[in-house]
Amino acid sequence: MTIVGHLINGEIRTDAERLQDVFNPATGLATKQVALATKATVEEAIEAAQAAFPAWRNTPVGKRAAVMFRFKALLEQHSDTICKMIGEEHGKIGHDAAGELQRGLENVEYACGVAELLKGEHSRNVGPGIDSWSEFQPLGVVAGITPFNFPAMVPLWMYPMAIACGNTFVLKPSERDPSSTLFIAQLLKEAGLPDGVMNVVNGDKVAVDTLLTDERVKAVSFVGSTPIAEYIYSTANANGKRCQALGGAKNHAIVMPDADMDNAVNQLLGAAFGSSGERCMALSVAVAVGDEAADALVSKLKEAMKPLKVGAYSDSSNDFGPVITRQHQEKVVGYINSAEADGATIVVDGRNPQVAGYEDGFFVGATLIDNVTTAMNSYQEEIFGPVLQVVRASSMEEAMQMINDHEYGNGTCIFTRDGEAARYFSDHIEVGMVGINVPLPVPVSYHSFGGWKRSLFGDLHAYGPDAVRFYTKRKTITQRWPSSGVREGVSFSFPS
């Protein structure tokens, strides 16, 4: 069986002391094994990154950008291979995997402009013969810890900009679907990146804790669940590291009575069930304002869900694939059972989908639940599966209060034709990413991604302009060259 190893100092390494199965979630079969790094292996990766840093930070920024340009071209050239790897290990349908990769590519494209982004500020003659300027310098060795649901895109949020800014990088991807992440990292070497600048260690908590406690690692970026995000953030901070930790979500869409209901239904289907709902930006709750709007929404959703197809990644006619593991399948079904036991109405039941030829796959069908209340466990927690719940509200104010009261504040959306309502919503909703008739308001690469409340720990968001600030530190220089032969007296007052 193939073993997926590590990339350390430009070489593929297999630390075989501990191995873990990697499953094809459509078949339920283990197809590969991944090596789980020991503490010593992670320390070797950090050492390689530290050794590569002095030369890389002094590499002209134009040459660093040139590597990113070649890297982007290689990603495009090998896109079919990457999407196949994602499908085999994550379960994403081919068109969804291609969309993920494209979003990652856009972040590489943004990093290609790093020479412009790293320009400092300069002021001449701030005092007699005194000039002052600032510049942005790299931190050193930085690390990323990334989730299973976007094995290509989320790492590409992190290391292209970090590396373009002059840092060296150690990535700990998800051990559940490691192949595409490792393959993409190897393309950087092909693009001309010096050995040691980019390193990948596959592993579990042993690898994570080593990155969080090693003093040579200066910053950590994380995407995953909120409990782990909180642990990452507190541990990194306790060890003197800069940290951004993006956590979970419970994204609501308000459906107003004046909304274009057919358009809202189509948008909700893709946002709720795409990628099997395994997105931190998935819309998992529709808050319908008024019973008339709620009845119309549920009726139209039920009808529109009839032709939805769940199946294997290789059939592009499928709408979405399996969830990542058997355990997660059972967890998602458990939330559906919980909602039913709490009195909600299961309108479309996806608990036992029949997928011919893939009877052992980790499938959950598209599920629609009506009459959900905020007291229910299924409402309060992140399901991370193809489940859309409908909550009924009597007014827009009540609907907004539900969203503002929730512990998560990642993404949200309103469907309406009323500009005044949309403007009020965007001004007063306590969520980091807001859509107006846009169900997945994921910012483009030249803006930054991040939520509020317990969806983000840290001051800076992911990618975009915030990434430049996260992966650099500002230095301000004030310079004066006194005229020769002029002796100045001592001054004890504060300079002004």
Strands (E), 195-235: 198-200, 217-223
280 assigned to active site: yes
The one-letter amino acid code at 441 reads P
- Backbone angles phi and psi of 104, in degrees to 5: -65, -40
Of 112, 165, 280, 413, which residue is the catalytic one? Answer: 280
Tell me the torsion sign for CA atoms 4, 9, 10, 11: negative
CA–CA dist 158, 104 (Å, integer): 10
Give Cα separations from 85 to 31, 74, 397 (angstroms): 12, 16, 45
Place of tokens 């909550």: 391
d(CA 248, CA 80): 30
Mapped onto helix, strand or coil, the DSSP state of residue 308 is coil
Q: Name residue 277's amino acid.
A: G
Quick one: which of 434, 407, 448 has its CA closest to 226?
Answer: 407
* 3-class secondary-structure state, position 49: helix
- 393-408 b/e with 16+ CB inside 10 Å = b? beebeebbebbeebeb
Q: Which residues are catalytic?
A: 280
